[in-house]
Each structure stands twice: as structure tokens, then as C-alpha cells.
């Protein structure tokens, strides 16, 4: 009786062992087929290759050989810090005049005392000529009594403003020093959206700061940026640009200057603007020769007109004028004693052509006028109500940057 029982027990043990072996084999097979089921639990120390996959896109693109380092080494020595000082004078009333008792006797004719204070500014610049010429923003050195230029090698020299152009926000400063590094200037005409963009400067007083991004878009009109008193089409970038970066270079991946950083928007995150270097080179050349730049103008304030915008105006019973429902540039105001006023242009005219070239936007008209010469005759085709007018306007020299 005991022998059959032992055989039966041995058979049961063997069956259990085989079941365990089959279960283990099936588990390993399923793990090989579905590796996602074998991901580590939270808190597991990931292996190095997984950590590397979490690097920023910029770090992945740069790789082990950093083009940013090479570009900055090429242009960085020519980037300078510009410190300015300006004396502001204002007239203040003696504090005794705040007392009503004294005002009873002297009224508002009490003599005012001049009060002065020092205003300091900070910006960046880039040496573009071995003779000591520095390119920067006009607003960096505007009305400065003293300009001090600090080089990356530690030298500090006085700078003399050689010329300022408020319309393009560019200025040239001259320094006297030997063995100056010079930044290589590229061509903004070759820049494409998506190209690398490196901003170099002194943001917020932090000297020799470098930020990396890409070119977000090209030919962004200054009117869209909210700078109506400038005549510029900016390079837009997401490379971080902060106060103090103004006047510093925007550089491509080869270390060539493609723009001069000039503007940020307080209501935007990670958006900056730079003046294309081709424009900057042309302005700098004129500032070197003449100390200023002559900009032609017509003397009008204008907006882009579309059929929908005209229709909205015409459907308004309180509208003062009826506007042709076409594409063009609507004249909102004609300034007295301006070239436009002398030609007979009126408020409500719609400019549709200049010298036979179709004009559809205010930016297009502004660029056309800017590319002309002071004293040049421009032939304008204007829609006035239902009539078409031909006007000849001789451009004048712009004195106020807010005009066109």
C-alpha cells in the first residue's frame, strides 16, 4: 500500500515543479516581447543614457562639439560695455512755497531754483573697425555727457559719440586704443528663419553674457513691435535679450554679426528684436561721413486699409468720411507745411501706387519712401472717393521720427 502512495506523491511533486518552470519561462518570454512593461518604478535611478535623452533641444543640437563656444570666442573680445552719464537739470520751487501763508504774499511767481542730478545708463556695443569704431544703439548714448567704454580685456577708455540716428536707433562711438579686436560682420540678407541666433552683451549689468536661441522671423515691422517712431524691419529672435543687451551683437553659428540687439517687449516672454546688420552697416557708414542720416518723408499719418475696414467705417452713421472699399494706405492726417500738404494730398485719400508700384500696406509705403532720396519726386496714384488722382510729391528731410 505504501509503494503506490509514494509513487502518487512523487508524481504530484513533479507536476508542481514543471508548472513552476513553465511559469518562469513564460514570464521571461513576455518580458522580451513587451519591454515597456519592464520600466523602472518611480524613484528608480535611471541609467546615464536615459538622463542624456532629457537634455534641452539646444544641448542635443550642439552635441559634444559646441559651435556656440567657437562663435563666442570669435566675436566676444570685440563686444564692449558702454556706461553713460547725463546731467538732468530741472527747476524746483523753494519748499517754503508749499506753505499757504507764503503763497498768500508771493503767489506762483516765487523764484524757482535749478536742481541737477546725474542719470547713469548701461548698454552694449561691438567694435566693427580697427580704428576704434563701436556700433551701438542711439538710445544707449542719447544726450550723454560722458561715455565710457569697457573692453573685455579689462581696459576702460573714454568714448566720443561720432553720430546718432534716432530713426534707426543706431549710433557710432569712437574710442582711442591700440590692438583692438574687431567683430566679423556677416550678411543679414542670408539669414533664414530657424537659423541659430546668439546674443552677446551685458544684460542687467552682468558683463559678457551669452544666450542662445533661433531666428523666429524676419522683416518684423517696427509698427508691429510697437515702436512707431522707427523705420525698421527687425530680426525677431527667442534668444534672451534684456535691458543692457541693447547695442550688443546678434551672432550666427559662425560667429558673424547678423544684427544689433535693440528692443524687447515688456508684455512678451522670450521675444527680442535686432536691427539687421546690412541696414546697420549702411547707417554706420553715413554716420561716419556726416554724423547724421538724412531720411526722406512725405508728411502724413497713415494706416493700412482693407475693404473690410473701409466697409466698417462706411456703415458707421457717425463716420465723417466715406472711404473707398479697396486695399491701400489710408491718409489719416496731412501735416501742415509738409511735402504732402504742398502736393494737395487730403485726409481720407487712399494711396494705391507709388511710381507705378502697387502699395497695399503702410509698411510697404514707408519702406518705399525710406529707399528714395531727399528731394526726389514721387508719383502717387490716389483714390479720392470715386475719383482717381495723380499727385507728384517732392520728398523733404525728416525732422521728427514719428512722421512718414
Instruction: Give yes or no for residue 247 having a pLDDT over 60.
Output: yes
Which tens digits make up the pLDDT trace of 304-344? 999 999 999 999 988 888 899 999 999 999 999 999 999 99
pTM: predicted TM-score of the whole model, two decimal places? 0.74
Look up the CATH number of the domain holding residue 272. Answer: 2.40.10.10
Domain boundary among 245, 261, 290: 290
Kindly indicate the confidence band of residue 348, based on its pLDDT and cuts at 50, 70 and 90.
very high
Place of cell 518580458: 31
- Looking at the structure, tell me whether residues 312 and 276 fall in a common domain: no
The domain in which residue 253 lies consists of 188-290
Write the DSSP assignment of 75-96 as a string of letters: HGGGEEEEEEEEEEEEEEE-GG
Residue 200 lies in a domain: yes
For 370, other C-beta atoms within 10 Å of its C-beta total 16
> Does any domain span residue 177?
no
Domain termination residue (choose one: 290, 323, 357): 290
In a domain, 359, yes or no: yes
Strand 209-221 vs strand 350-354: parallel, antiparallel, or unpaired?
unpaired
Indicate if 196 and 243 belong to the same structural domain: yes
Contacts of 112 (CB under 8 A, 6+ apart): 91, 92, 93, 94
In this predicted structure, what is the pLDDT of residue 93? 54
* Cα angle 289-291-296, degrees, rounded to a multiple of 5: 95
321: CATH: 2.30.42.10
pLDDT at 184 over 50: yes
Q: Active-site positions?
A: 139, 169, 246
Q: Residue 264's pLDDT band (boundaries 50, 70, 90)?
A: confident
Number of domains composing the chain: 2
Q: What is the pLDDT of residue 304?
A: 94
pLDDT greater than 50 at residue 255: yes
Is the same domain home to 207 and 266? Answer: yes
Answer yes or no: do 271 and 312 share one domain: no
Q: Do 286 and 300 belong to one domain?
A: no
Q: Is residue 37 part of a domain?
A: no
Amino acid at each position: 500500500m505504501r509503494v503506490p502512495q509514494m509513487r502518487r506523491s512523487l508524481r504530484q511533486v513533479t507536476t508542481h515543479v514543471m508548472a513552476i518552470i513553465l511559469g518562469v519561462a513564460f514570464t521571461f518570454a513576455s518580458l522580451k516581447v513587451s519591454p515597456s512593461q519592464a520600466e523602472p518604478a518611480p524613484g528608480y535611478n535611471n541609467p546615464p543614457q536615459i538622463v542624456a535623452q532629457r537634455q534641452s533641444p539646444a544641448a542635443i543640437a550642439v552635441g559634444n562639439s559646441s559651435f556656440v563656444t567657437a562663435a563666442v570666442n570669435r566675436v566676444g573680445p570685440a563686444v564692449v560695455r558702454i556706461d553713460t552719464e547725463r546731467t538732468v537739470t530741472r527747476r524746483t520751487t523753494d519748499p517754503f512755497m508749499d506753505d499757504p501763508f507764503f503763497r498768500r504774499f508771493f503767489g506762483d511767481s516765487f523764484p524757482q531754483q535749478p536742481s541737477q542730478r546725474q542719470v547713469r545708463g548701461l548698454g552694449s556695443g561691438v567694435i566693427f573697425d580697427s580704428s576704434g569704431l563701436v556700433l551701438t544703439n542711439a538710445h544707449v548714448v542719447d544726450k550723454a555727457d560722458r561715455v565710457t567704454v569697457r573692453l573685455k580685456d579689462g581696459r576702460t577708455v573714454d568714448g566720443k559719440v561720432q553720430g546718432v540716428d534716432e530713426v534707426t536707433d543706431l549710433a557710432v562711438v569712437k574710442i582711442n586704443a591700440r590692438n583692438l579686436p574687431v567683430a566679423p560682420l556677416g550678411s543679414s540678407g542670408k539669414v533664414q528663419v530657424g537659423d541659430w541666433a546668439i546674443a552677446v552683451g551685458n544684460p542687467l549689468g552682468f558683463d559678457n553674457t551669452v544666450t542662445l536661441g533661433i531666428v523666429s522671423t524676419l522683416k518684423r515691422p517696427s509698427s508691429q513691435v510697437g515702436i512707431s517712431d522707427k523705420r525698421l524691419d527687425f530680426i525677431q529672435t527667442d534668444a534672451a535679450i534684456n535691458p543692457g543687451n541693447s547695442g550688443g551683437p546678434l551672432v550666427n553659428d559662425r560667429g558673424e554679426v547678423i544684427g544689433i540687439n535693440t528692443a524687447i517687449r515688456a508684455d512678451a516672454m522670450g521675444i527680442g528684436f535686432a536691427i539687421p546688420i546690412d541696414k546697420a552697416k549702411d547707417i554706420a557708414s553715413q554716420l561716419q561721413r556726416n554724423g547724421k542720416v538724412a531720411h526722406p518723408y512725405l508728411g502724413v499719418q497713415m494706416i493700412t486699409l482693407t475693404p473690410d475696414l473701409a466697409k466698417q467705417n462706411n456703415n458707421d452713421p457717425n463716420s465723417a468720411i466715406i472711404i473707398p472699399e479697396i486695399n491701400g494706405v489710408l491718409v489719416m492726417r496731412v501735416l501742415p507745411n509738409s511735402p504732402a500738404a504742398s502736393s494737395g494730398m487730403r485726409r481720407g485719400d487712399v494711396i494705391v501706387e507709388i511710381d507705378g508700384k502697387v502699395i497695399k500696406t503702410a509698411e510697404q509705403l514707408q519702406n518705399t519712401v525710406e529707399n528714395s532720396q531727399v528731394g526726389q519726386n514721387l508719383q502717387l496714384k490716389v483714390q479720392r472717393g470715386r475719383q482717381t488722382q495723380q499727385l507728384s510729391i517732392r520728398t523733404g528731410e525728416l525732422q521728427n521720427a514719428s512722421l512718414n
